[in-house]
Structure 1
Amino acid sequence: MRPTAWTEVHDPEGVRYGIPTFPWRAAPEGLATRRQLRAAGLRPGGQEPVAQVMRLRRRGRAPLVGYLYRIDHAKPVRPMTPGRAEALAKAMRARRTCPDCGRVAEYCIPTSLGMCVPCAYPTESAALVA
């Protein structure tokens, strides 16, 4: 009998993967991923993952893995302070500022281009404006 994806990733004792592993969307109660904790206003708070959820993918690609943390050990998210908000605003402005022309774009500058779109493609931009 060929193993199914469910049986291949269902390892609640952690023998196969070294950590208890459950199929995608089949995590036990009381455990949550980072995103689920964040949606509930919580953070892992320094705790190590106690389990993982795994979903196999086709054609030999690496499986999708999500680490699970105990909800009862999670801590509340730290509130945004004025200093942290200012630092975040500066960082986002730097990501939107073109190093060539100095213009602040409405979008983050693509790292693949290294400059704003009008600087990267000046002929196309001029044609669109005219």
Structure 2
Amino acid sequence: MSRFYDPTGERYGLPTFPFRLAPDGYATRRQLRADGLRPGGQPVAAQLMWHSRKTRGVVRVAYLYRTDRALPVRPLTPGKRAALAAALRARRTCPICERDAGYVLPASLGTCVPCAYSA
């Protein structure tokens, strides 16, 4: 059996499954969002655990929520939609030339690429 297979939660405190082996009826936040759902205040129901090769063997964890208890995502109100558009526009606007760069400005430069490398 896998080290991270603990469906009763005796070893890790929560039902635990190896990466990609969660049973049906559980989903991560991203998976819920892709289906138009949100956790809706429910507690974490289970977790996935795996060794990450990218982080040199560190154990990674992803929390799972029950899909039958998930609620639909609340739609954006017109005010929130306008505020989001303004925030995204601000991230694209160069503080030097004050033009919309068409992309999010790199934080390392703080300006659009032409302004950063103009001289």
Normalization by structure 1: what TM-score? 0.81
AA in 2 matched with 1:122: S
Give RMSD over aligned pairs: 1.7
Partner of 1:111: 107
Runs (4+) of structure 1 exceeding 4 A deviation are none
| Higher radius of gyration, 1 or 2 | 1
Alignment partner of 1:25 out of 20, 26, 30: 20
Instruction: Select the structure that is richer in strand.
Output: 2
Structure 1 CA distance, aligned partners of 2:85 and 2:99?
16
Deviations 1:54-94 (A, max 9, x none): 22123744233221001111110001221111011000001
Structure 1 CA distance, aligned partners of 2:96 and 2:12?
49
Q: Quick check: 1:100 aligned with 2:96?
A: yes
Unaligned runs of 5+ in 2: none
Q: Answer with 45-54 or 89-98: which moved more.
A: 45-54
Normalization by structure 2: what TM-score? 0.88
1:119 Cα deviation (Å)? 1.3
Alignment partner of 2:82 out of 82, 86, 92: 86
Instruction: Select the structure that is richer in helix.
Output: 1
